Amino acid sequence: MAEATQFPYGDTSSVKPFWAKPELLAKLKDKVPAPRSTGNLPCDVLAGIRVEAALNRNVKLTLDACVRCGACLNACPTYLTTGDIHNSPVGRADLVRRALRADSFWGRLFRTRNGVQAQDEATVQRLSTYYYQCLECRRCGEICPFGLDQADVTRSVRSVLMDCGIASRYVATVIETSERTGNNLGLPPPAIKNTIEFCRDEIREEKGVDVRVKVDEPAYAMLVPPSADFFLNLETLKGYMLFFHEAGIDYTFTTEHAELGNFGLFVGEKHMAAVGDHIVQVAKKLGVELVIAGECGHGWRAFKQYVVPRLRAEGIEGVHVFHAVIDAIRRRTVRLDPAQNGDARYVYQDPCNYARAGDLVDEPRFILERVVRDHRESPHSREATWCCGGGGGLLTDELMPLRLAYAQLWFDDARSVGGEQVVRPCAICKAQLNATLPKLNKVGKTQLRYSGLMDLVYKALVPSSAPPAKA
Ligand code: SF4
Ligand code: SF4
């Protein structure tokens, strides 16, 4: 591992997110009431954890069934890169057990006699620090002999903390912005439309095609990309636009819900549901028959598991853009030329939520092998993939020391197979790679690049208006 990203003392207790101000959390509670803080009593984190452990079957099972075998330690990227036992699946679960003991009958008696405030403060501090260092990547659940999912415990603990007034400022801001504006970045409709027009001009210039685009209009399908595609990932956006044009799919963008990402997944189901339900409302309003998700790992997971069943109840189908691309390739309605992406060595790295929660493993590979000439697997791929290091709501500057340490795992993987360009079709991965690659490249003396997958589809697409290829 590169020197700049090591934690030599195995102590990450000083790395924590900036905490959200009460006013921000109050706004969130106005939208989605927090059951634990209603009534006259102030919310008690330890009591909240006890209620969660009693009522949430996953949390109860995980705490009860874990035998502390330690198998998950060697799978957890946060422990492997920092060496801090608290920053591990077992260490985090032990913090919850400690909180439960502190709120047991004897624990409460002790707290009452020895000063409630002092003991609560230390336990709550450790819980909030280390549960906001977890990437919610579910790698521990993949290796655990009992299939225990510590990421689920992370979400539950964060949910209790948030109801009691403790949440990452970044995560809370994104959720509040998304619930208020329909996208995580707060992009106003004119800005979204301008970006779409800009990309249309670029496609005309680069590919000689005047693509059809609808925005907020009735159509057969509604495309929901992550908002980062209207801001940072314009090559991905151009990929959607040219692909749908060439495949002849009647679709519309929506400025009302221009966001596949769903940060509610990181802190609790109430907010995930609020954001997910909005997609269903907008789809019904536009009268579409199909909703197509763009490139985003956690967004796809929330979409597939929460939104799609609710869309189906309304007679609307939901798929990923990769499903549409594969369908078009099989029907031969699009032409692809992998030579357009040059001779670089592309390394596919699965976003966690595609591989360990979203059943999207073979699909991206099917597309990749048709849009580039040289594609390689990472040593840790498919269900064993490493998180980009920015998942779970950690994509914020104050956590950069951790993000760099976590990123070292996939960076070393890509280098070990001679990769020149990492392909990670996820908005969080792209933002994390955009922020960390310059430093990792500098320290590692490399020039590794990154992209999404629709970016490569864009380059490989041969417009139907182009002359047929020579035999
Ligand atoms: S692998 Fe499973 S049983 Fe073993 S310590 Fe981790 S969570 Fe507990
Ligand atoms: S979800 Fe990922 S980061 Fe969190 S404890 Fe499990 S393996 Fe570690």
Q: Note the pLDDT of residue 342.
A: 97
Range scoring the smallest mean pLDDT among 8-22, 67-81, 161-175, 339-353: 8-22
Which residue has its alpha carbon closest to ligand 1 atom 1? 144
Please answer whether residues 264 and 171 qualify as being in contact, where contact means their C-beta atoms are separated by less than 8 angstroms. Answer: no
464: Cβ contacts below 8 Å, ≥ 6 apart: 246, 335
**241 has a pLDDT exceeding 80:** yes
Tokens representing 326 are 């594969």
Residue 451, beta-bridge partner list: 423
Distances (CA, A) of 147 to 60, 65, 111, 358, 387: 14, 10, 35, 17, 18
> Is the pLDDT assigned to residue 140 strictly greater than 70?
yes
CB contact at 8 A, 289 and 319: no
Percentage of the chain beyond pLDDT 70 is 92
Helix segments in 287-361, DSSP class H: 297-302, 308-313, 321-331, 352-355
What's the pLDDT at 104?
Answer: 72
**135 within ligand 2 shell (Cβ under 6 A):** yes
Under the banding of pLDDT at 50, 70 and 90, the label for residue 4 is very low
Same structural domain for residues 145 and 188? no
- Domain of 73 in residue numbering reads as 3-174
49 and 93 together in one domain? yes
Residue 372 CB-density burial (10 A; 0-12 exposed, 13-18 middle, 19+ buried) = buried
**How many residues in the chain?**
471
**Rounded to the nearest whole angstrom, what is the distance from the C-alpha of residue 123 to the centroid of ligand 1?**
22
Please tell me the predicted confidence (pLDDT) of residue 7.
Answer: 62
Whether pLDDT at 2 is above 50: no
Within-domain flag for 470: no
Residue 107 to residue 88: CA distance in whole angstroms: 25
Crossing angle (nearest 10°) for helices 400-416 and 427-444 = 80
What mean pLDDT do residues 455-459 have?
98
Q: What is the DSSP string of 371-404?
A: H-SEEEE-SS-GGGPPP-S-TTTT-SGGGHHHHH
Q: Give the residue from 155, 174, 193 where a domain finishes.
A: 174
Per-residue confidence (pLDDT) for residue 30, from 0 to 100: 80
In a domain, 465, yes or no: no
210 falls within a domain: yes
Instruction: Please give the model's pTM, rounded to 2 decimal places.
Output: 0.93
CA 255 to chain centre: 21
The mean pLDDT of 206-217, rounded to a whole number, is 97
Average pLDDT over residues 207-230: 97
**pLDDT greater than 50 at residue 405:** yes
Domain boundary among 332, 353, 383: 332
Residue 102's pLDDT is what?
A: 76
| DSSP state at residue 216 | S
Contact 296, 215 (CB under 8 A): no
pLDDT at 42 over 60: no
Same domain as 344, residue 327: no
Q: Are both 114 and 205 inside the same structural domain?
A: no
The answer as to whether 366 is a domain residue is yes
CB 232 within 8 A of CB 195: no
Using the mean position of ligand 2's atoms as its centre, give its distance from the Cα of residue 388 in Å: 12
Give CA separation, 392 vs 8, 30, 262, 408, in Å.
24, 24, 11, 17
Mean pLDDT for 301-309 is 98
- Helix or strand holding residue 95 (H, E): helix 89-102
Burial 339-357 (b: 16+ CB within 10 A, else e): eebeeeebbbbbbbbbbbb
pLDDT of 465 > 60? The answer is yes
Q: How confident is the model at residue 98, as a pLDDT?
A: 86
94 found inside a domain: yes
Asked whether residue 265 falls in the same domain as residue 368, the answer is no
The per-residue pLDDT for 41 is: 43
Tens digit of pLDDT for each residue in 94-111? 999 988 887 776 666 666
Q: Indicate if 35 and 100 belong to the same structural domain.
A: yes
CATH number at residue 304: 3.40.50
Ligand 1 neighbourhood includes 68 CB (under 6 angstroms): yes
Q: Give the residue, 100 or 71, on which the prediction is more confident.
A: 71
Please state the φ and ψ torsions of residue 16, each to the nearest 5 degrees: -140, 160
pLDDT band per the 50, 70, 90 thresholds, residue 214: very high
Does residue 77 lie within any of the structural domains?
yes
Q: Using the mean position of ligand 2's atoms as its centre, give its distance from the Cα of residue 234 in Å.
A: 31
Domain boundary among 332, 354, 379: 332
218 and 194, same domain (yes or no): yes
State the distance from the centre of ligand 2 to the C-alpha of 87, rounded, in angstroms: 9
Q: Is 72 in the pocket of ligand 1 (CB under 6 A)?
A: yes
Longest CA–CA separation in the chain, Å: 87
Q: Whose CA is nearest to atom 3 of ligand 1?
A: 66
Looking at residue 115, its pLDDT comes to 54
Give residue-wise pLDDT tens across range 21-40: 999 999 998 877 766 544 44
Residues 312 and 191 in one domain: yes
Q: Show Cβ contacts of residue 205 under 8 Å, excluding neighbours closer than 6 positions.
A: none
Q: Give the closest residue (by CA) to ligand 2 atom 6.
A: 140
Q: Is the pLDDT of residue 471 over 90?
A: no
Q: Are residues 280 and 353 in the same domain?
A: no
Q: Give yes or no for a contact between 224 and 192, defined as CB atoms under 8 angstroms apart.
A: no
Ligand with the closest atom to the CA of 90: 1
Q: Is residue 471 part of a domain?
A: no
Gap between the Cα atoms of 363 and 274, Å rounded = 29
Q: Which residue has the tokens 């002790």?
A: 110
Residue tagged 């490493």 (tokens): 386
Residue 46 confidence (pLDDT): 86
DSSP reduced 3-state for 291:
strand
What is the 76 CA–ligand 1 centroid distance (Å)? 11
Ligand 1 contact, 215 CB (< 6 A): no
Q: What is the mean pLDDT of the chain?
A: 92
What's the average model confidence in pLDDT over 271-277? 95
Same domain for 117 and 147: yes
Under a CB-based contact definition with an 8 Å cutoff, are residues 324 and 330 in contact?
A: no
Q: Whose CA is nearest to atom 8 of ligand 1?
A: 66
Integer CA distances (angstroms), 156 to 35, 57, 375, in order? 14, 11, 38
CA gap 99, 318 in Å, rounded: 41
Helices (H) and strands (E) in the chain, counts: 22, 10
pLDDT-derived band at 6 (thresholds 50, 70, 90) equals low
Number of structural domains found in the chain: 3
Is 144 contained in some domain?
yes
Task: Judge if the beta carbon of residue 12 lies within 6 A of ligand 2.
Answer: no
Task: Report the percent of the chain where pLDDT is more than 90.
Answer: 81
Give the tens place of pLDDT for each residue, 323-373: 999 999 999 999 999 999 999 999 999 999 999 999 999 999 999 999 999
Q: To which residue do tokens 């209790």 refer?
A: 160
Same domain for 212 and 122: no
Alpha-carbon span 131 to 129, nearest angstrom = 6
Same domain, 154 and 194: no
Q: What is the pLDDT of residue 101?
A: 83
